[in-house]
Amino acid sequence: MLLSPSSDQEFFRETTGRFLAEKAPVDELRRLHTDPSGYTDGYWRQGAELGWTSLLVGEAHGGGSISGDGLIDLTLVAGEFGTHAAPGPLVGTNVVAATLSEVAGDAAEHRFAEVVAGILDGSLVTAWAYTDKRPHDRLGDIALSVRIDGSEIVLDGVKRPVESAATASHILVTGASDGGLTQVLVPADAPGVTITPMDGVDLTRRFSEVAFDGVRLPLDALVGEVGGAADQVERQLQRALVIGAAESVGAMQRGFDMTVEYSFDRYSFGRPLASYQALKHRFADMKSWLEASHGLADGAAAAVAAGSPDAAELVSAAAAYVGSRSTDLLHECVQLHGGIGVTYEHDIHLYLRRATVNRDLFGTPADHRQRLASIFEEAAA
């Protein structure tokens, strides 16, 4: 990520990379495959100390960034997460921390200060429940209902998939009210909340289905105004997609580098695989996909960080392209490794698994192409 990172950003990226290489090597990832959480508390707390959870939170709330642009700095962490197929709830904690710290007013700050502080020091994990289960699983199709009943908020519906819901202390829930979208911060142990683990292909990321059956909470659990959360949710979505794109590009880069190295080391009929013309064409295609993905992911991150009016367009362009090409490239990498590439013992599948999961979170490539079409139609009207 980033063609010209500053010296501080490069140091931050290298520090994260070294930490992940030490604390989350491939052997550890394989061990965590059977762990219910997919990561350890000590690992996540140490990551929080490195700054993984504080980059989108202002200094007034205890956060801070490396460069003054926290989202750009966070893409460096996400890229390293992809490069190492690293465990940890990077998206949920950062999206929720940013949202809670941005809610206007001293009263809101007082309500959520303890949760934000827990996220920043790594003692708490939070999740964002955005996507509804089928048939309401398309991008932006929110079915879970949020209504006001006297002095209480009532939630009914099901969200899936929700990352790290099983280890989260609080879940930020996006629901539909009469006036529009509404968000509520729900304690994971609130009466009426049922968390059911789901199967997944990533070795260390854990997802759950979360059901809300008449969940009642006081009004101070509202994050923002009733029916007025559309802009807030759009910012959250853009941030989540930027983090995911950066992570997928990191996985693409690692898979590509592994395959290039293998193609020079592996000999067939007395020649390295890299010398065959047919394979050179395939590598050229993969390289073009990789560089385009780098550019789109970086461009989307810069647009969201700057609050650009074309941020939604650039984010969906990155999500559509990176989502499609990441799995295309990594499938090619698997095939170019030959028979060993399709075995569980080889490491290449770790990166394919990560990209495959990211491809369908917060909208599929098809969803984002449709979103782009809608943006263009509105611009032309």
pLDDT tens-digit series, residues 153-206: 999 999 999 999 999 999 999 999 998 999 999 999 999 999 999 999 999 999
Stretch 252-275: mean pLDDT, rounded? 91
Radius of gyration of the chain from Cα atoms?
A: 21
Give SS3 for 181.
strand
pLDDT for position 164:
97
11-20: pLDDT as tens digits: 999 999 999 9
The pLDDT of residue 104 is above 60: no
Instruction: Give residue 269's pLDDT.
Output: 85
Res. 380 pLDDT band, cuts 50 70 90: confident
pLDDT at 333 over 60: yes
Report which of 249, 255, 253 is spatially closest to residue 336, judged by C-alpha positions: 255
Considering the chain, tell me which residue range(s) the CATH 2.40.110.10 domain(s) occupy: 126-221
Q: Per-residue confidence at 267, pLDDT binned at 50, 70, 90?
A: confident
Predicted confidence at residue 71, as pLDDT, reads: 97
Q: What confidence tens digit (pLDDT) does each residue in 51-62 have? A: 999 999 999 889
pLDDT tier for residue 378 given thresholds of 50, 70 and 90: confident
Predicted confidence at residue 108, as pLDDT, reads 52
Q: Considering the domain 7-121 in this protein, what is its CATH number?
A: 1.10.540.10
- 342 CB-near residues (< 8 Å, 6+ apart): 334
The answer to whether 324 and 290 are in contact (CB under 8 A) is no
Residues 6+ apart with CB under 8 A from 331: 352
In CATH, the architecture of 230-380 is Up-down Bundle (1.20)
Give the global pTM: 0.95
Question: Residues spanned by CATH 1.10.540.10 within the chain?
Answer: 7-121
CATH class of 126-221: mainly beta
Question: 152 pairs with which residues across the strands?
Answer: 149, 218
**DSSP designation for 339:** G
Q: How far apart are CA 250 and CA 88, in angstroms?
A: 16
What tens digit of pLDDT does each residue of 75-100 get? 999 999 999 999 999 999 999 999 99
110 pLDDT higher than 80: no
